[in-house]
Amino acid sequence: DTGELCLQSAQCKSSCCHRTSGLSLARCAPKAAEFQECSPKSLYGVYYKCPCESGLSCDVDKTIVGSITNSDFGTC
């Protein structure tokens, strides 16, 4: 559930395991609504910004550095 600790997005009902910084603990969080900040689906399983809700896409300029450090952010 939202607010519970997680290691992987697959553990969360919302399928977003979110942490605010590289050092903080990750917790389940709701997906991003339209006009909110987001990141595209990544392989890391833990996000700094959650992916968008269904039907929306994360509008983002992908860069190589960004996709490695999981810091490509955009808006839904």
CB of 15 to another protein, least distance (A): 12
Residue closer to another protein, measured from CB, 33 or 68: 33
CB of 35 to another protein, least distance (A): 6
Phi, psi of 65 (to 5 degrees): -60, -45
Residue ranges that bind another protein, judged by CB under 8 A:
1-5, 25, 27, 30-31, 33-35, 53-56
CB of 1 to another protein, least distance (A): 7
Which residues, including other chains, have CB under 8 Å from residue 43's CB and lie 6 or more apart? Answer: none
CB 10 within 8 A of CB 45: yes
CA–CA distance, 65 with 57 (Å, rounded to integer): 21
Residue closer to another protein, measured from CB, 3 or 64: 3
